[in-house]
Amino acid sequence: MSNDPATSPSPCIAPLKQKHTCNESMSLPEGGEGVKRMQKENQPLAQENGASTNKKLVKPMKQQHKAKQKANGDKAMEQFEWMQEKDRNWTDVDTTLLLEALLGSESTYFDTLIVNAKRAYKKVASEVFGDQQRTAESVRGHYERLRKIFSYILNYESITGNGGGDPDVEILDEQIENARCAGKDVGNLSGTILKKFYGLGWYELFNDRLGEHPGLTREEVFRSGSLSDAVEINSNDEDDSDFEVKIQANPSASCKFEKPTS
């Protein structure tokens, strides 16, 4: 056998099967149309990248704007809460000053209070309490609460009378409870409040002015053992809601009533 490589028969080797990738198997369009199509397909990606960049720039600006808005809101809320706190704090001295300004014998605001209460509250707030920065609403609210208490005192006195003297708070509380049990609307009146109205002259200020005020009527009618007591206090201020107290006593109320001692 010949060992000549040239003459030796070649071994039979099967050709390897070629593998094609997806990219190799895809056919691309020929010419300029293929390039244009690829550019068109890649365009949204470029736009998305641009929009993302713009969002990154805008986000800090929005955060700064929100932070500024929050700071301004916090400052306004602090100012509002401070004004509310000022409006809530009424000392006895401030209350006396308010009532003397509106109801005193030398008051320059009483006529305005009768004609236009809203204007009177505004003037008192700015001219009498200007240094305290009180609002007209604060003046109105405090005065109306005091006037309501005065109506409770009138209801209380319709049963007990005003015998004068200086009774103890405990005795006043007992008399107020007797009036309440008899069907009188005395609200949240207490001996302490009543003593303060009498002692600080607030009762006299209300009684001297509103006792002759046409908007204050007081009627006591005794008929068939029943007692009706109407107390009506009106305000000419169109923004103020008039309040009216009309109580029909219950003659069958089982209350222990003690006539006050002078």
- Structure confidence at residue 14 as a pLDDT band (50, 70, 90): low
Span of 45-49, 104-108, 176-180 with lowest mean pLDDT = 45-49
Please give the residue range of the domain that contains residue 224.
Answer: 92-248
Whether residues 167 and 242 fall in one domain: yes
Rounded to whole angstroms, how far apart are CA atoms 257 and 94? 37
Please give the average per-residue pLDDT across 175-202, as a whole number: 92
Crossing angle of helices 191-199 and 202-210, rounded to 10°: 70
Residue type, 50: G
- pLDDT of 125 > 60? The answer is yes
Whether residues 114 and 76 fall in one domain: no
Could you give the 3-state DSSP secondary structure of residue 225? coil
- pLDDT of 97 > 50? The answer is yes
- Structure confidence at residue 140 as a pLDDT band (50, 70, 90): very high
Whether residues 135 and 76 fall in one domain: no
- Token pair in block for residue 197: 């109205």
Cβ–Cβ < 8 Å for 128, 228: no
- Percentage of the chain exceeding pLDDT 90: 36
Whether residues 111 and 198 fall in one domain: yes
Torsion of CA 147, 105, 93, 151, to 10 degrees: -10
List all residues 6 or more positions away from 103 whose beta carbon is below 8 Å from its beta carbon: 110, 205, 206, 208, 209, 210
In a domain, 96, yes or no: yes
- pLDDT tens track for 190-226: 999 999 999 999 999 999 988 744 344 333 332 333 3
In a domain, 98, yes or no: yes
In a domain, 261, yes or no: no
In a domain, 13, yes or no: no
Which residues, listed in sequence order, are joined to residue 230 by a DSSP beta bridge?
A: 219, 246
Whether residues 102 and 82 fall in one domain: no
Whether residues 230 and 132 fall in one domain: yes
- pLDDT of 11 > 80? The answer is no
pLDDT of residue 16: 56
- pLDDT of 237 > 70? The answer is no
Q: Which residue has the higher pLDDT, 88 or 248?
A: 88
Count of domains observed in the chain: 2
Could you give the 3-state DSSP secondary structure of residue 185? coil
- pLDDT of 93 > 60? The answer is yes
Q: What backbone torsions phi and psi does residue 8 show, to the nearest 5 degrees?
A: -75, 140
In a domain, 178, yes or no: yes
Could you give the 3-state DSSP secondary structure of residue 107? coil
Q: In the listed set 41, 70, 89, which residue is the last one of a domain according to the structure?
A: 89
- Percentage of the chain exceeding pLDDT 70: 47
